[in-house]
Amino acid sequence: MTPEPVNILLIEDNPNEAELVRVFLRSARRFTFNLTHHEMLGDGLVYLKGMDNKDSKVDVVLLDLHLPDSKGLETFTRINKIAPWAPIIIMTNLNDEEMALKSVRQGAQDYLVKTEMDGNLLTRSIRYAIERKHAEDALRDSEERYSLAIQGANDGLWDWNLETNKIYYSPRWKEILNYECDEIGDSPNEWLSRIHPDDIEKFRVALLGHINRLNGHFQEEYRIKRKDGEFIWVLTRGYAVQNNREKAYRMAGSLTNIDVRKRTEKQLLHDAFHDPLTNLPNRSLFMDRLDRAVENAKRYRDYHFAVLYMDLDRFKVINDSLGHTYGDDLLMMVAKLLSSCIRSGDTVARLGGDEFVILLERIDDISDALEIADRIKQRLKIPVNLNGHEVVITASIGIVLNDITYDESEEILRDADIAMYQAKMLGKDCHSVFSSSMGKKAVERLELENDLRQAITDPIRRKNELDVVFQPIVSLETGMIEGFESLARWKHPERGQIGPDEFIPVAEETGLIHTLGLWVLKQACKQLRIWQKALESVSDTIPLSITVNFSGRQFSRPEVVNQIKHIISENQIEPSHLSLEITESLLIESDDRFHDVLKKIRDLGVNIHVDDFGRGYSSFSYLQRFPVNTLKIDALFTQLLERDGKNSEIVNSIVNLAKSLGMSVVAEGVETDVQLQKLKDIKCTHVQGYFLSRPLKREVAGELLLQNRKIFQP
């Protein structure tokens, strides 16, 4: 059933504030109304005079005390005299609350501070005002009318006789603290003794300041104890009245429960400075504490601190193989572990991903930081169970002490990050202490990264610094070149030739490897097509293939299969004449997504070679799972062939394994005739290395291919 609309008379001279009242009323849920608005008190009085008291259509009056034709308490008095049957709510500003309270004492139902008003508060006050007025009309006893009206109010009211030192607490005041009416007396101690010890002094200062006229209005937020012993947040407002000797003799006000708001604010503040997954401090809070540590180090000569920057090793493999849910579980476990490793007063934070950072304050020297780092590494070695999988994690940790004078906390975090990457380069599962030489290397590395990015993305402006060279892959059975391995080379305009061991890791870390890898693939396929056409002209029927190294990061791109397919089609080569070369470590650490991409590439007809095979014997069992065509024996085993028989047995085992799986074998790093002969004896199928040919520029490789494709006599 739809409720009857509430008929409201609004007397307000400010059109903007009148419109705001209308907006608030419209925003309230399940509240219908009819609003009549007058800007002058006289117009409002005329409107009210024309109504029969019994059949009045005005349910409530919203009244501004300061109007063009009437000011202050007189405004309320005049309208109350004309329409004593109408409940009146005073709308006031903060600086007029004393006048509003006087109106309430003389019969107004309630007052609202305009700046604190909203739709719910306004409609609730209207409903309460109407209910209280109806109760007053029915009971006709002023004391009972007042008591029932107070019970209907959301705020608790209090009235303090400063001369007798007695306080009247309304039933609602007592209810806020979960007390019955007869459980609270009229002593000020009933109030003051329940205020939180940390808040009482501030409360007393504010209260006495108002009583002594040092501040215009008393308003204080504080915690107060309920009957059950719990503290809640409340807001008290009040105003003291003075006698003709300018001495306060009475003070009245309200008590509002603001506990939900304060707890919400506290939670929002916590969320703004903490990581939602681990509940650790986030970057913002950590940097604030690091700023404070930097200032303390400047102020106190004997104050020392350290920052540990930690990154989990191989977290991506765990995350991708077990799923992000279990990856998150692992991060939460690590967060608890780190928190248990530090001292009280230290800070551990999560920067994002699998990166954590620790601030150790008030340490004596580097040994304190090293002790914490060792403790973390030892604790991480304890296996954890994730979805039935026992997982052992390690971490690389960079350490910075404040021995160097730092002006900004960001500089400290930067250097800790640099030291962490140094630990990664040292083999992971270790820590590294920052030194100034690391900073210099980091700058050089950044410059190298920028130059590499420009060389890849803007080759014309950089004058084609990047190039591709080709190393022959030779058949041991025929001595003929059957293919080439394509290798990227970079000739820097200032630093000269930069080896792939230096720039390929940079490309991997920065994500440039995908663009670089596709560029090498295009160059290789284009060159293969040129050579194949040239061989057709000399009636050479032996197929020629090309091999391109492929990074694990490239396999993570969903579009990589279509890109390979497009390059093959664009250069009009047979897919079977193209081989992609992946490392054995990538094969071992792969997940289902990698396997799916590899299968799609094989379905195109492209061959897969496994590079550096033999370093990880555990990978033998993986070969049956993956569509691999060729194993490339690591150059280390090739070069050790002539030293002892053990290495010959290892190579022989790899060759036999490959043959049993229907694969061919390429031995890398052949540098001597002895190695070549031993590989023949073992019946290895293909070889490459400096003994046969160094990597060649495309023009030289083409001449060799056409003039003397047979490198040696078998």
Tell me the CATH number at 410.
Answer: 3.30.70.270
The pLDDT score that the predictor gives to residue 636 is 86
The pLDDT score that the predictor gives to residue 333 is 92
Burial annotation 356-383 (CB, 10 A radius, 16+ → b, else e): bbbbbbebeeeebbbebbeebbeebeee
Q: Are residues 337 and 191 in the same domain?
A: no
**The total number of residues written for the chain in this structure:** 714
Q: Are residues 111 and 218 in the same domain?
A: no
Q: Is 473's pLDDT higher than 80?
A: yes
What gap in Å lies between CA 433 and CA 445, rounded to an integer? 18
Q: Are residues 68 and 92 in the same domain?
A: yes
pLDDT band at 701 (very low <50, low <70, confident <90, very high): very high
100 Cα distance to chain centroid = 49
Q: What is the mean pLDDT of residues 672-681?
A: 91
Contact yes or no for 284/349 (Cβ under 8 A): no
Looking at the structure of the chain, the number of domains it has is 4
Residue 345, both tokens: 């007063």
For a pLDDT cut of 70, what percent of the chain falls above it?
A: 93
Q: Are residues 694 and 572 in the same domain?
A: yes
Using DSSP, state whether 110 is helix, strand or coil. strand
Residue 326, both tokens: 């279990």
Cα→Cα distances 166→49, 309, 591, Å: 42, 62, 77
The pLDDT score that the predictor gives to residue 325 is 86
Whether 701 is in a domain gets the answer yes
Residue 610, both tokens: 């496994």
Q: Are residues 297 and 221 in the same domain?
A: no
What is the chain's mean pLDDT, rounded? 86
Q: Is 52's pLDDT higher than 60?
A: no
Whether 49 is in a domain gets the answer yes
Domain span at residue 183 reads 156-263
Q: Are residues 429 and 558 in the same domain?
A: no
Q: What is the mean pLDDT of residues 567-583?
A: 93
Q: Are residues 324 and 221 in the same domain?
A: no
Q: Are residues 646 and 701 in the same domain?
A: yes
Contact yes or no for 524/567 (Cβ under 8 A): no
What gap in Å lies between CA 190 and CA 514, rounded to an integer? 74
CA neighbor of 437 nearest in space, from 417, 419, 452: 419
Whether 713 is in a domain gets the answer no
Between residues 447 and 201, the one the model is more confident about: 201
Nearest 5 degrees, angle CA 71-CA 77-CA 82? Answer: 120
Q: Are residues 397 and 530 in the same domain?
A: no
Name the pairing type of β-strands 481-492 and 466-475.
Answer: antiparallel
Among 81, 114, 145, residue at a domain's last position: 145
Whether 230 is in a domain gets the answer yes
pLDDT band at 298 (very low <50, low <70, confident <90, very high): confident
Q: What is the mean pLDDT of residues 385-403?
A: 85
Instruction: Considering only the C-alpha atoms of the chain, give the largest distance between any 2 of them, rounded to a whole number of Å.
Output: 125
Q: Is 180's pLDDT higher than 70?
A: yes
Least confident span in 234-238, 270-274, 439-443: 439-443
Among 211, 245, 263, residue at a domain's last position: 263
CATH number of the domain residue 212 falls in: 3.30.450.20
The pLDDT score that the predictor gives to residue 145 is 52
CB atoms within 10 A of CB 631: 26
Q: Are residues 255 and 300 in the same domain?
A: no
Q: Are residues 138 and 160 in the same domain?
A: no
Q: Are residues 506 and 585 in the same domain?
A: yes
Q: What is the mean pLDDT of residues 447-466?
A: 80
Among 382, 401, 434, residue at a domain's last position: 434
What gap in Å lies between CA 468 and CA 489, rounded to an integer? 6
| DSSP strands (E only) in 88-179 | 88-92, 110-113, 156-161, 166-169
CATH number of the domain residue 27 falls in: 3.40.50.2300
What gap in Å lies between CA 216 and CA 218, rounded to an integer? 7
Whether 150 is in a domain gets the answer no
Sheet holding 156-161, edge to edge: 166-169, 156-161, 248-257, 231-242, 218-225
The pLDDT score that the predictor gives to residue 618 is 46
Backbone angles phi, psi at 153, to 5 degrees: -80, 150
568 Cα distance to chain centroid = 41
Least confident span in 191-195, 288-292, 704-708: 704-708
The secondary structure of residue 473, as a DSSP letter, is E
Whether 443 is in a domain gets the answer no
Name the pairing type of β-strands 384-386 and 389-391.
Answer: antiparallel
pLDDT in tens, 84-96: 888 999 988 877 7
Q: Is 151's pLDDT higher than 70?
A: no
User: Which residue bears the tokens 């060159």?
Assistant: 527
Q: What is the mean pLDDT of residues 211-222?
A: 86
pLDDT in tens, 502-535: 888 888 877 888 889 999 999 999 999 999 998 8
CATH number of the domain residue 486 falls in: 3.20.20.450
